Structure 1
């Protein structure tokens, strides 16, 4: 961090990144803390374990809806203001969880806690806007984004390791256990308030209410259909109708925003050659980073009597997940360390290639815990780099005043990709191939299909990035230097003669 720009007005300082580092560490705690508590939370709420899927579905749905709106508001009124508002909402929901003792109140609180998903896009937008004037904002933002993802994954590890231990230390008291993440989010609010400077919003902006209403209706319908598909299975014909209706609602949304002077999402910007591949890759990345979590865990826990699977208990499965998270930390750290020396387009291509390699390695190598750990480590390194690289690339490609919405869209498309994959994978592992002799296990062919889809989707993302212009996402200073070097290397007319 110390090497980041210091001492200039509008520069990306080590102090700024340090404050945001703490905020992302808290975000990681929220993502990891509750996972080992799920069985105990289900018993506390007197529900079945599978019913906990409703909480996850509700939070994913809320995140898909609110991120574009909050990101746009950040561009309009200042990213710090919206970061503070989202933190207040997250803190309020976290404290609500402490006192929620029934299914419906816990469901509402859990969903509202999902406001934290907008933190990273807003932070990246804030950092890029602050560093834009230096001419090196793009590379400095990539370095900072890598450090923030390191904090995110370190927090997730700390949360996953600490949740169960805190629960035991408090003698199984659920409200006391849930109070710690609420305290952490409350502390994050004051860190932002006192330590993070405001970005410079562009004046004269206004919120496209109709555009966001149409987009919200479409996303709400699509993600609801995907959630119902995962829960009700492929035989529920009506869920496909819900998804089709949601997709159809994108047409009036597109017609509206193309005719609006300050649209909710500027589709003309999304058509740019340095933007559309980034957003599509984010959606494809969501397939593996969000959608494959449950199939991977269930494959690792499948009894070996089925003829496949690893037969691991919860503790060993958490170790594999920990290796994956450590891989993500390494990947984010490498992305940050090489931000100045490696072209950003090359970083993105290498990261997607590692994700593809990691999941495709599952096809021949899935017979032992060591093989699975190696696969997950490779995929984790690529995933960690992508979590940092995608919003940073979107920020660099966005025009002035649209960094927030551009970075936020990478999160939204990733969430939609993950929701789609989660619904499809839940069906694939049950219906593809021959049913296992272990009635509770998925099919062998289904698991291999999941691994193949994750690997191929990353390969497609890598190919899409080949369409990105060579000098995309780079600092203006670096682009000018490259252009000058190439011009100097060209032979003069006399030399050609």
Structure 2
């Protein structure tokens, strides 16, 4: 892994080591369940397409919680919010393990989404400790690469372990689901005893009205997507609910623009070095979050029965996940190197292009495991760089007392993109033959056209993100003059 300079290590102390443990656990949460999604679906008695609603619900809760938690981090301390979110995630993880039915499982899975605030809080903590370093943006990028590298190692280990244990403990799914809950519980002690508090706090107040307006908008949008999924895209009133959700953001934006201490600082978002990063995060969330479940169910689909799919067992799905996440790890570690040789902006553009090319390759090449592996490696290299780059780029573009908000917003927009994609992909993957019988057995596999739609959307949105990033100033995200910025703050 790329080493931090000695001076940067002295300023950070042992905090990076403890944060690496947290990100390893975050990776376990993100990789462990993927090989067993089909087993979970069968255990709960639902179809493959309905698995997307787990991700959709979790991502929507995350999109709602992260802006509030990020603001609370700027006010009360990033370590404190990191600890609170870890406790909540641990409780939800135990709920996932012992949920007695679909609705309780869905609720626990959704609440588990509090972990998405971990990386933004960690980047804010690091940036705060490096605030007096003249090269703090460079050091933050390198630390972010280490953290994302740990995250991806956790995903690899979690996916491999999950694929093995779900078969080893067949019939005892509760026991298999208990392992990530144990890991998160241990993380509580790592954060409490090993992570110091940040010292650059906002000292503001919580924008409760803004939070309510944001919640109304997000929940209305979620309801519209749910109605579309249940009643079909031909239901006009479901589209009306969806439009009402979009319209609900208009009073939210107007209210926030009139606040001196807003929940979301839209004045900051209007910066030419900030809004393309946040928009890219939203577009990137479509592929990195929304396409995980479809890839797992496609890999498990039997080509002999349906004419498409890879026909893999749960443990074999780990091969695809492991290859993808290994590419993510390489991309994350290469990002600071590439940014130093070119510019951070050009590196972001190149990463988005790789994601677009990787998913475009799925359209003609999806008939064999080697083809799927090649596609996922190309997309993974770009995705890894974006995971590491986006929060550090947002931190570099934000005022010092807004780093929590800026880094949190990258995860908020990413989870919004992922939640919408997960819901839309669930519609695309809804099998028209789900209630039909084939040889006396219910058909639960999603149609091939749905998977082609998923890959097309992921590719097009990545190319759009690359075009948007070209609008960022060429030398954005570099270290500004320290004294001038602190005086401005």
Give me the TM-score of the superposition, normalised by structure 2.
0.88
Between the aligned partners of 1:411 and 1:444, the Cα distance in structure 2 is 30
Secondary structure, aligned partner of 1:265: coil
Between the aligned partners of 1:297 and 1:395, the Cα distance in structure 2 is 33
Q: Which moved more, 1:159-168 or 1:345-354?
A: 159-168
1:374 is matched with 374
Between the aligned partners of 1:8 and 1:50, the Cα distance in structure 2 is 47
Any conservation in 2 of the 1:299–1:309 contact (CA below 8 Å)? Answer: yes
Structure 2: which 5+ runs fail to align? Answer: 433-437, 485-489
Between the aligned partners of 1:55 and 1:376, the Cα distance in structure 2 is 23
The equivalences for 1:158-173 within 5 A come to: 158-167=157-166, 172-173=171-172
Q: Which moved more, 1:33-42 or 1:319-328?
A: 33-42
Any conservation in 2 of the 1:205–1:262 contact (CA below 8 Å)? Answer: yes
Secondary structure, aligned partner of 2:114: helix
Between the aligned partners of 2:237 and 2:360, the Cα distance in structure 1 is 34
Secondary structure, aligned partner of 2:11: coil
The equivalences for 1:393-404 within 5 A come to: 393-404=393-404
Q: 1:304 to 1:180 in 2, by over 3 A?
A: closer
Q: Does 1:77 align with 2:63?
A: no
Any conservation in 1 of the 2:331–2:383 contact (CA below 8 Å)? Answer: yes
Q: CA shift at 1:56, angstroms?
A: 3.0
Any conservation in 1 of the 2:268–2:398 contact (CA below 8 Å)? Answer: yes
Greater length-normalized contact order (CA 8 Å, ≥ 6 residues apart): 2
Q: 1:46 to 1:457 in 2, by over 3 A?
A: closer
2:462 is matched with 458
Q: 1:134 to 1:109 in 2, by over 3 A?
A: same
1:235 is matched with 234
Alignment length (residue pairs) = 474
Any conservation in 1 of the 2:145–2:333 contact (CA below 8 Å)? Answer: yes
1:311-354 per-position Cα deviation (integer Å, ceiling 9, x unaligned): 54544443222211111111112114445444211211111111
Q: 1:380 to 1:164 in 2, by over 3 A?
A: closer
Q: CA shift at 1:423, angstroms?
A: 2.9
Between the aligned partners of 1:180 and 1:364, the Cα distance in structure 2 is 38
Any conservation in 2 of the 1:10–1:133 contact (CA below 8 Å)? Answer: no
Q: Does 1:357 align with 2:357?
A: yes
Any conservation in 2 of the 1:4–1:12 contact (CA below 8 Å)? Answer: no
Secondary structure, aligned partner of 2:318: helix
Q: 1:179 to 1:137 in 2, by over 3 A?
A: same
Q: Does 1:319 align with 2:296?
A: no
Q: 1:430 to 1:53 in 2, by over 3 A?
A: closer
Q: Which moved more, 1:154-163 or 1:441-450?
A: 441-450
1:330 is matched with 330
Between the aligned partners of 2:455 and 2:109, the Cα distance in structure 1 is 30
RMSD: 2.9
1:139 is matched with 138
Q: Which moved more, 1:351-360 or 1:73-82?
A: 351-360
2:477 is matched with 473
Q: CA shift at 1:40, angstroms?
A: 4.6
Q: 1:171 to 1:304 in 2, by over 3 A?
A: closer
Q: Does 1:266 align with 2:265?
A: yes
Between the aligned partners of 1:18 and 1:411, the Cα distance in structure 2 is 22
Max Rg structure:
1
Q: CA shift at 1:86, angstroms?
A: 0.5
Q: CA shift at 1:50, angstroms?
A: 5.6
Any conservation in 2 of the 1:287–1:418 contact (CA below 8 Å)? Answer: yes
Between the aligned partners of 1:41 and 1:443, the Cα distance in structure 2 is 20
Secondary structure, aligned partner of 1:240: helix
Q: 1:342 to 1:111 in 2, by over 3 A?
A: same
Q: CA shift at 1:429, angstroms?
A: 5.2
Secondary structure, aligned partner of 1:411: helix
Q: CA shift at 1:103, angstroms?
A: 3.4
Q: CA shift at 1:84, angstroms?
A: 0.5
2:55 is matched with 56
2:423 is matched with 423
1:144-173 per-position Cα deviation (integer Å, ceiling 9, x unaligned): 111111111211221122124345555743
Q: CA shift at 1:262, angstroms?
A: 0.7
Structure 1: which 5+ runs fail to align? Answer: 433-437, 481-497
Q: CA shift at 1:7, angstroms?
A: 5.8
Q: 1:231 to 1:157 in 2, by over 3 A?
A: farther
Between the aligned partners of 1:339 and 1:312, the Cα distance in structure 2 is 38
Q: 1:6 to 1:84 in 2, by over 3 A?
A: farther
The equivalences for 1:44-443 within 5 A come to: 52-167=51-166, 172-300=171-299, 301=301, 303=303, 308-428=308-428
Q: CA shift at 1:180, angstroms?
A: 2.4
Give me the TM-score of the superposition, normalised by structure 1.
0.87
Secondary structure, aligned partner of 1:391: helix
